[in-house]
Each structure stands twice: as C-alpha cells, then as structure tokens.
Chains A and B, each alone.
Chain A
Amino acid sequence: MIYKVIAKPEFRKFIDALVRENTSFGPRQVDTAANGNPIYQFMPVSSVEEIEFDYTATASSAKHFFLPFREELSRFSFNDSDFKQHIAYEAEPVVLIGLRACDISALNILDDVLLNGHYPSPYYLAKRKNTFVIGMDHLPLPDCFCKSLAHHTVSTGFNLFCSDIGEKYYLSINSSKAFTYLKEFQTEEPSYEDNCLLTERRKLISRSFQTEVDVTSLPSILDIEFDSPVWEKWGAKCLNCGTCAMVCPSCYCYSVEERFDIDLKGASRNRKLYSCNLVDFAVVAGGHNFRPKNGDRLKYRYYHQHRGFAENANQQICVGCNRCGRACLAGINPKDVINDLRMEKESCMICVSQSPART
C-alpha cells in the first residue's frame, strides 16, 4: 500500500477527471424523508459537483454493481432438435465513489464466497475486475455497529481509500491504476502531522459508535438457540418482504429461472437475487416447504448472516451497516434480535443448571 495526501480541491479535480471519462456512480441525495433526513443512493454521476462527499449512508448497498438484482447467465438458441448455448461475461469499466469501510468489507466477504469457494463465479469476477472502487471513511450513524464486527476499518478490496483529515484527504493507494492516475495530480508524501491527523481521525471514528452488538460466541449461541422462542417473537413481526436482503451489502442468495424468448427461437437462464425471508425460498419439488413459518425464515437469515456457511469458512457475513434495520418496516434489526437471543441464552443457562439431569 502506498500512502499520499491530497488537498481537497485537488482531490475534486482528480475525481472529476475520472468521472468524466468513465461510467461512474457516487452518493447522491435522492429524497428527503418525512422526518427531514436526507436519503442517499449510489446513483450515476457525470461530474464531481453531483457527488455528495459528506453523505451519511446509502439506503441500498453497492452490492448490485457486482451482483445485479437480475442477470442473464446463459442463452440458448434452438435449431430443430438441437440447441446452442452461449455465455458471455458482460462487464464495462465502472468507477464507484464513496463506499464506506463496511461496504468494502462486504465486497471482501462476497469475494470469499463467490471467488474463493469451490466454484469461482466468472460473472462476479468480471464485474469485480472492471470496477474501480474509491472508499471514503465517515463518522458512524447512531445505529451503525460495524465496529462490533471489526468492519469499521478496511485494508484490502479497494483501489483507493480516502480518510478525511480536515483540509486534506489521506489516501491509501491499493492499485497501480489509482497510482498512475494520481501522478497527474498534486499529491504529497504524508508528513508526521498528516499521520497524527489520520490517527486522530481513526480514534474519533472509533469512539463515535453509539451502538454496540455483542457478537462473541454468537455462532455457538445460534446453534444452541435453534428452537428459541425468540425466533417466533420476531417472526411474528416479519412481513416476509425481502427488503432486508435486497438492501444488504452481503446477502447473495439467489434463484435461477429459465424462460423462453417470446419468439420461441431461444431461451435464457437468469439469476435473480432472492431473499431467504421470501415465502418460497425453501420449497422443493412437489411443493413441500422446509421453512413454512416466518420465524423459520427469519432465523435462517440470522444464521447465514451471523453464523456463516462453509463457503466462507464459517465467518459472519454481516458487516454491521444496519441497512436492514433501517429499511425494515417492522422494526426488526440485528441489534435487538441478537440482544434478545443473548438474554434468552442467559436465562436458559439458569434453566439448564436447575433442571434435573436428563436420563
């Protein structure tokens, strides 16, 4: 990693140059909520003026730039009793500006699942390789809990990461491309003061977290609490709407659907991002649903998020951005669910010690 500092006006020139020559997305305010809060999303930008560098957090994550909500996996063209299959990995260069540390952590987790697992996904790889990621640090929102999961800082998975140290940005340069482009702009080696400012900035971020979620030994607690009434309680609130998974930066479960072209001369196989909260996620041939109840499905999402699956070495995939919590109409959020589960666990331990030994 190479470190530089850049004055903010010069930084804007750099971003402007990138944005003008590439398809770019950055945080923009799309709405104002009824409570007065601005609502941001990663939207197309064509000049630096359009980018809100001081945004808080986007409502939806940047996941869909790498894992589109819908994507064609393969095409078939028919010819009498025969067919031809075609596969192409479509990816154009894209610049993504303003991802938070947790967003980039989520990409690293997706890398683990989709590139480092048994069968690396070329679809994902094509997009990952063609995306230039510029990260920016920020002061946490009151409900951010990425620090609890150690995702408030990130050291890989981006091309460039910018820390705000007042008049300047402290740049962590993690790709030759970023290094080469920056050569055309005035940057400096970080001074002793710059390094101190960076340390101060990091400390400030670190102590600004207002929400903490105790995730120690959570995988084991989840395992033990498989039949906990907590799931029924929160399941009763769940609308099965799938919003949590759609806005999540690391939820990647999907469904594969095949359909004929309308002229019947071809067909396509398509991937659609799905959510384990949706009612038919675990339906098998013949119609049996392995998770018929809201609580079963909600539990399953927490299992995936906080216990992790073998494909990513049983690591938690939640990064603590709380987008799901903010977006959930029913008010279901990781902090409350996990705390509930923990309480349940503690009371259960008492039950266990008081109950007679099993015969």
Chain B
Amino acid sequence: MRFAIPRQDLNREAFASSIPEFNRRSDLMKTDMGYKCRITNVVNLTDQEKLFQLRIVEPQERRIFRFKPGQFIMLELPGYGDVPISISSASSNHEFLELCIRKAGHVTSALFRTDPGMHVAIRGPFGSSFPMDEMAGHHVLLVAGGLGIAPLRAPLFWINEHRDRFRDVHLLYGAKEPSQLLFSYQFDEWQTISHIRLHTIVEHADAEWKGSTGMITELFRDISIDAKNTYAIVCGPPVMFKFVCSYLDRLGIPMNRMFVSLERRMHCGMGKCCRCMVGSTFTCIDGPVFDYWSVMNLKEAI
C-alpha cells in the first residue's frame, strides 16, 4: 500500500475530547456539542410564556459558561430540535440560567411539556451584548414591548447590581393586556430596592387595570428625557422599536446610544448556515444586539 493516503483522524485530536468554549471564538472545538443542563424549575408566567431555570450539570462546564447581557444561546431538546433563546437571567448568576420562552413553534411546544428534573442541552453564549460599561454614568431608558422584557431582564439585572454606576433608570413596559405583563411579581423589588422608575401600559385594559392604556410611545409623555446623557435599550417587535427609536431620535438621543435586539431563526448560531442574515450581516455573530444606526443600515431589518 505504497500510495494509500493515511487517514487523519480528527476525533483523536485534543479539541475532540475537551469542552467546547464558545466564548473563545476561532479555536477548533466541538461546535455542535452542547452543555447538558437539568431543568431545575419551571414557572408558569402566562398560558403562552414560561420561565425555565436551568443548571449546567457538569461543574467544569458551569465554570466555563459566562455570558454578557444581551447574548443568546441555542437551546436543544434532543429529537425535537434547537432554537435560539435570549438569556433572561443575571450574568453574575453562575449557578443557574433563566430563559423566558414563548410557545411559538414545535420545539418550544415540546419544551412546554417538560418538568423539572429533565435534561436539555445548550450551546453558546453567542452574539453581541449591550455595552453596559459604556452606559455607566448615564441615564438609562429601558423600553420593552411584550416578550421584549425577556432579553431586557439581563441588562436590568446588571443595572440593579451596579445601581450606583447609573443615573436615572426608567423602565417602560407595554403589553397587549394586563395579564400579559410578565414578571409583575418583581415590579416592587425593581422599584423599591433598585429605584427603577417603572411605567407600564396596556393596549386593552380589563376591569381591574388602573394604569395607562394605549401604545407604549404614550408613556413618553410622563417622563422627561435628558437626551444628551441617556442610553436606551429597546426590545420588542420590529414595528414597536421602529416607532420608539425614531421618537428617541427626534428627541436627540444619538443613534449609536440606542440599542435593539433583533430576532431571526438561527440554525447554527455560529455564522455558518446564513439563515439569520439580514442584508449581509449575521444576526448571530454581529447581533442580536445592534445600535440603531446599524439597524438603519441593514437592508430588510425591519
């Protein structure tokens, strides 16, 4: 066998037996290997939304997994598929991970049938994050529409934990109906302990609702914004952040101080499959967090 080409077995190389570390991009690693997680708690928020608390099983993997507010993971329910989910817990919480998930497709539907004690896999963290350090020393305006509160929770936790670094913090939160306002059990904590100025609004009030009614932009009438010294994070459906951002733009907040989180259906999370491309930008690598200027420059973003 003088001319037989020798086989190079990648399975024997060091990376194939080590834990993938998604934060260290450009290292050869088992990109499709997930960290196994145990579901430790499931909180029913509404009929359509649940909060899943996960714990990475292997201590070594738990140590490696670190994320920044705004990043997402690929959550895999073996057999059913994997879906991109933004991380909803504090980046300082190294023990547990929280994911706020809406029942939207078949993977999330199957996920809704899971109970604590079962296992799922996660890959990541992937993508860009909110520039929390850069925002320090400024007023912060957090605007959430509907499920937009999910990606907003990570920066909110960050602000709560580093409250002294930020000036006034407003959280504007709108939903279709009062019952769809998520995490209402935390409202008191945010307001009383963290001194977040919370303003809620619903489109359709019910009998008990005593707050404001209408679109989220109406909340701007209640607050004064120091445009020169304010950073804004806007999370919600594209129509909503388009309205909110153009309003904030008129107020004079620079476009590169407004951040949004885009949603696309990633298949790989690693800038390969091209399913999440917006124009010629990868939502999974360059996003999901973009400043508004970048979004304006993305073809087909909104």
Interface residue ranges, A against B (CB under 8 Å): 17-18, 20-22, 73-74, 76, 78, 81-83, 85, 87-89, 91-95, 113-114, 117-122, 125-126, 129-130, 132, 177, 181, 184, 223, 226, 252-260, 267, 269, 271, 274, 276, 281-286, 290-291, 296, 300, 303-304, 307-311, 314
In the complex, which residues of chain B have a beta carbon less than 8 angstroms from the beta carbon of A184? 2
Q: Which residues of A contact B32 (CB under 8 A)?
A: 73-74, 87, 269
> A91 contacts which of B10, B34, B275, B280 (Cβ < 8 Å)?
B10
Does chain A have a CB within 8 A of B119?
A: yes
Most buried by B among A17, A252, A282, A286: A282
Q: Given A121-B31, A254-B273, decide whether A132 and B5 contact each other with a Cβ distance below 8 A.
A: yes
Determine which of B3, B8, B33, B279 lies in contact with A17 in the assembled complex, contact meaning CB atoms within 8 Å.
Answer: B3
Instruction: Please state if A85 and B299 are interface contacts (CB–CB under 8 Å).
Output: no
Per the 8 Å Cβ criterion, residues 249-298 of B in contact with A are: 263-265, 267-268, 270-275, 277-282, 285-286
| CB of A335, distance to nearest CB on chain B (Å) | 22
* Minimum C-beta distance from A137 to chain B (A): 23
Q: Chain B residues near A281 (CB, 8 Å)?
A: 275
Chain B residues with CB below 8 A from A300, complex form: 277
Asked if residues B25 and A255 are in contact (CB atoms below 8 Å), the reply is no
In the complex, the answer to whether A92 meets B78 with C-beta atoms within 8 Å is no
- The 4 A-B pairs of least Cβ separation, nearest first, read A267-B79, A93-B5, A119-B270, A76-B78
How far, in Å, is B284 (CB) from chain A's closest CB?
Answer: 9
Q: Which of B27, B79, B299 has the most CB of A within 10 A?
A: B79
Whether a CB of chain A sits under 8 angstroms from the CB of B211 is no
- Give the residue name and chain of the B residue nearest to A269 (CB): B32
| Residue B137 lies at the interface, judged by CB distance under 8 Å to chain A | no
Taken together as a complex, chains A and B put the C-alpha atoms of A106 and B16 apart, in Å, by: 27
Task: Report whether A309 and B280 are in contact in the complex, using a CB–CB cutoff of 8 Å.
Answer: yes
Known: A85-B36, A85-B78, A303-B280. A122 touches B5 (CB 8 A): no
For residue A66, give the distance in angstroms from its CB to the closest CB of chain B. Answer: 13
- Cβ-defined partner of A81 (8 Å) among B79, B118, B299: B118
Nearest chain B residue, comparing its CB with the CB of A115: B28
Q: Are B31 and A122 in contact (CB under 8 A)?
A: yes
Q: Once the chains are docked, how many angstroms separate the CA of A125 from the CA of B30? A: 12
A20–B4 Cα distance when bound, in Å, is 9
Residue pair A286, B282 in contact (C-beta under 8 Å): no
A252 close to B272 (CB less than 8 A): yes
Contact across chains for B3 and A22 when beta carbons are under 8 A apart: yes
Stretch among B80-88, B90-98, B160-168, B199-207 lining the A interface: B80-88
Chain B residue at smallest Cβ distance from A92: B7
Name the residue of chain B whose CB is nearest to the CB of A24: B5
Chain B's closest residue to A117 (CB) is: B271
**Total count of chain B residues near the partner, CB < 8 A:** 60
Taking the closest CB of chain A, its distance from the CB of B293, in whole angstroms, is: 16
B11 contacts chain A at the CB level, 8 A cutoff? yes
Instruction: Provide the bound-state CA to CA distance between A282 and B278, in Å.
Output: 10
Residues in A with CB closer than 8 Å to B118 are 81
Chain B's interface: helix, strand, loop or mixed, by majority? loop
Chain B residues whose C-beta falls within 8 Å of the C-beta of A76 in the assembled complex: 78-79
A129 to B278, CA, bound (A): 32
Asked if B220 is an interface residue, CB under 8 A from chain A, the answer is no
Residues from chain A with Cβ under 8 Å of B28 in the complex? 120, 122, 125
Given contacts A119-B26, A257-B81, A310-B282, A93 and B275 within 8 Å (CB-CB): no
Contact A255 B275 (CB under 8 A): yes
**Closest-CB distance, B268 to chain A (whole angstroms):** 6
B121 at interface, CB cutoff 8 A: yes
Q: A95 touches which one: B5, B33, B34, B267 (CB < 8 A)?
A: B5
Is B300's CB within 8 Å of the partner chain A?
A: yes
Chain A residues with Cβ below 8 Å from B117 are 81
Question: For the complex, what is the distance from the CA of A99 to the CA of B83, rounded to whole Å?
Answer: 38
Which B residues lie within 8 Å of A82 (CB)? 119
User: Which residue on B lies nearest to A91, using beta carbons?
Assistant: B10
What chain A residues lie within 8 Å of B119 (beta carbons)?
81-83
| Pair B5/A307 contact, Cβ less than 8 Å | no
Is B59 interfacial (CB-CB < 8 Å)? no
Q: Are B272 and A89 in contact (CB under 8 A)?
A: no
Chain A residue nearest in CB terms to B274: A253
CB-based contact A286/B82 at 8 Å: no
> Known: A21-B1, A87-B32. Contact between A282 and B280, CB under 8 A?
no
- Answer whether residue B243 sits at the interface, using C-beta atoms and an 8 A cutoff: no
B82: A residues at CB distance < 8 A: 256, 258, 269
Assess whether B104 is in contact with A285, with CB atoms less than 8 Å apart: yes
Contacts of B274 in A (CB 8 A): 252-254, 276, 304, 309
Closest to B20 in A: A119
User: Chain B 1-45, CB within 8 Å of chain A: the 1/0 string?
Assistant: 111111111110001100000100111111111101000000000
CA distance A322 to B235 in the complex (A): 43
A118 touches B5 (CB 8 A): no
Who on chain B is nearest to A86 by CB?
B33
Check A21/B2 contact, CB under 8 A, given A81-B119, A257-B81, A286-B105: yes
Assess whether B3 is in contact with A18, with CB atoms less than 8 Å apart.
yes
> Closest chain B residue to A84 by CB distance?
B36
Is the Cβ of A119 less than 8 Å from the Cβ of B78?
no
Q: Which of A118, A126, A283 contacts B10 (CB 8 A)?
A: A126
Q: Which residue from chain B places its CB closest to the CB of A88 in the assembled complex?
A: B11
A-B contact pairs, 20 of them (CB 8 A): A21-B3, A73-B32, A74-B32, A85-B78, A87-B32, A93-B7, A95-B5, A118-B25, A119-B25, A119-B272, A120-B28, A122-B29, A125-B10, A181-B3, A252-B272, A254-B273, A281-B275, A282-B265, A309-B274, A311-B285
